[in-house]
Amino acid sequence: MTNVVQSLSDFFATLGLTTVLIFVTVLLISLWMLSSRNPRVNWPPGPVCFPVVGCLPQLMISGRRRQPTDLLPWYDTYGNIMHIKLGEQHMIMLGTYELIQEAFVKNAATVSARPTWVYYIRRLVGKDGAGVIFKNGHAWKELRRFTLSSLRDFGLGRKSLQEKIQDEARYLVQNIEDENGKAFSPRDRIGKAVSNIISIVVFGARYDYEDTPEMLSVLEESVRLNKGGPLAFTNLARLLFPKKKFVLMDELYILIRQEVKRHRQSFDPTDIRDFIDLYIKVTQERLDPEIFTDWNVFRIIVDLYLAGTDTTANALRWSLVHMVNHPDVQKRVQKEIDQVIGQGRVAKMEDKASMSFTEATILEVFRMSTVVPMGGPHATSESTTLAGYTIPKDTIILGDLYRVLHDKNNFEDPYKFKPERWLDGDGKVIKSDKMIPFSIGPRICLGKGLAEMESFIFFTTLLQNFTFKVPEGDNPPNGVEGLHAITFSPHDYNVCTVRR
């Protein structure tokens, strides 16, 4: 083998640089033409895809600021359904509600898989997937049913979990009070408050704002490193992704295993304290041992944290951005809070029915600042037809939720923050099928119900107690652009508060 390599090296050394470059270029083009030549596939229109890298060069140029708006000009050129290639991976982009519904609802049986063959995902969860976000087939359905049932058992939709959220909202208010009106960044405080809710559900405990246990520290750092963008869907991630991300996940699984071991030592089947206890009970009952494995449960814990923390925290961070930028809206929400709740108690979900403008404001935050702009990646489990095109098996399908929620055909003045768009002439909240910040179909966000409960109680409690303002001398935070990775978060900003 060494002799062969040496011979090739000697051969290329005899050629000029121009000749070598021409040879390599012709080789790459030939490979590209061979790999792209499939007369049985009638792909939708899309941008030119280059050898090896696909459309990555165009994305890197158009997305140099990495915003959810980067792909919008492509829809104008190629249509509402586009075919692009990221490296070697074929991908279909869906840019309207109707197309997303066709794919994720009408064709759910063939478009609800996850692309676990992609290097990044395979490295995290294995080729067969794991948990509820990255598992497929019958096992995914059973694990999702188990997880949703667990959330209900621990109070989702009941008073028990609502009371925990109310308590955490009080702790958040107390923590903000400690600033005494000085300018501060609300980012970490909001993150801590929201992560405490999922910690109660999963681990049976909340943590002080100054005390972050090792497991949650690893989870938080893993989320911060989760910024792969388009590269995450290509084999180039093998070369370019930070290895620390995978090291952190391996460390996290060790910590989760230790926590499960501690729970086993104090386990009481008559006193189920949290999600881990429920998992121990299920394994003792030997319910589907091939599905309810340690590996799947470890990933469910990670999935719950991601679905129940990062997205909700970002929605609340965006809500304060819009409040300081629209003090008139803030005052109107506070007026409604004073009329319905007053100052003597914390908001509860029953109040929501009597607080139309507050609900409309939260809906507008969800719409305007879509925290998961592309939703989760779907994949075809077999050949399927979308919009008249035959899409092969193992093709990634992405629904552009951001475009739907910023389409002027769906929402007038889509880049203006207007809560009143959600109210009819009688001041009642208007529902819209096209309001899909949590996606639609069987893969709809697992944490939707919890996110809606937390958003209402936290947001209402904050505005009940404080008026939020831009610190003197600071520029108002950007209400449109932010940090776009898998989730969409605002650029870091400061606020100051006035106690009400």
Structure-token pair, residue 73? 């000009």
445 labelled binding-site residue: yes
CA distance 488 to 80: 22
> How far, CA to CA in Å, does 472 sit from each of 367, 467, 491?
29, 14, 18
**323-329 LR contacts (CB < 8 Å, sep 24+):** 323/463, 323/468, 324/468, 324/469, 324/470, 324/476, 324/477, 324/495, 325/417, 325/476, 325/477, 325/479, 326/417, 327/469, 329/361, 329/417, 329/419
Q: Which helix (H) or strand (E) holds 496?
A: strand 496-499
DSSP string, 388-438: TEEEPSS-EEEE-HHHHHT-TTTSSSTTS--GGGGB-TTSPBPP-TT--TT
If 0-12 CB within 10 Å is exposed, 13-18 middle and 19+ buried, where does residue 436 land?
buried
CA atoms within 13 A on the CB side of 200: 22
Handedness of CA 318, 321, 323, 325 (dihedral sign): negative
Contacts of 324 (CB under 8 A, 6+ apart): 330, 468, 469, 470, 476, 477, 495
Cα 2 to its chain centre, rounded Å, is 48
Q: Which helix (H) or strand (E) holds 91?
A: strand 89-94
CB 202 within 8 A of CB 255: no
Nearest to 131 by CA among 256, 274, 265, 317: 256
E-strand stretches of 95-135 = 129-130, 134-135
CB 259 within 8 A of CB 215: yes
CA distance 440 to 459: 25
Residue count (the chain): 500
Q: Apex CA 76: angle with CA 71 and CA 77, to 5°?
A: 95
Q: Which amino acid is at 276?
A: I
CA distance 487 to 484: 6
Cα 425 to its chain centre, rounded Å, is 34
Residues belonging to the binding site are 445
Residues belonging to the binding site for heme are 445
